[in-house]
Amino acid sequence: MENYMVWIWLGIFVISVVVEASTQELVSIWFALAAIITLALSFIMPWWAEIIVFCVLSLVALIATRPLCKKMLARSVRHTNADEFIGKRIKAETDITKFDGGEVKLNGIIYTAILMESEEETISKDSLVEVVSLKGNKAVVKKIEG
């Protein structure tokens, strides 16, 4: 049995690396690490001790590195150049109504502007508005008093 354990650990290592390479998440790197260490120890240990070492190493590697890896690989909020428009105060180029929308100019480009859902009144041309969000290619705006 002990002659075959080298091949078993090598197989577990290869399978773990293939699974890890085929996914975008960390799912089996801990098993690959434990398998390669256990493979090296398989020449001097009995098979039952190798299984215990593999299980302990996998668990320790998982507990020690999983939180750190998840933190490093966490998908952050994706920022785009359009995010710079949010909160920007600009003039309305045309009247902006609840049903028809209007136009605003952001960085020299004319965008369709729509009112925030809570806004009821029409915003007249040359009024100061603030960009609240973007919906597709439309700027959602609200009127700034004063």
Give the per-residue pLDDT at 59.
92
Residue 99 sits in the same domain as residue 127: yes
The per-type count for the chain, helices as H runs and strands as E runs, is: 3, 5
Residue type, 94: T
Q: What's the first-to-final CA gap in the chain, in angstroms?
A: 85
For 37-126, strand residue ranges (E) read 89-91, 102-106, 109-115
CB 95 within 8 A of CB 122: yes
Structural domain span for residue 21: 2-73
Residue 66 sits in the same domain as residue 118: no
| Three-class HEC string of 44-56 | CCCHHHHHHHHHH
Per-residue pLDDT reduced to its tens digit, 42-52: 888 898 999 99
Per-residue pLDDT reduced to its tens digit, 112-146: 999 988 777 888 888 899 999 888 888 899 888 76
Residue 6 sits in the same domain as residue 69: yes
Give the per-residue pLDDT at 37.
93
Residue 69 sits in the same domain as residue 87: no
| pTM of this prediction exceeds 0.75 | no
CATH number for 124: 2.40.50.140
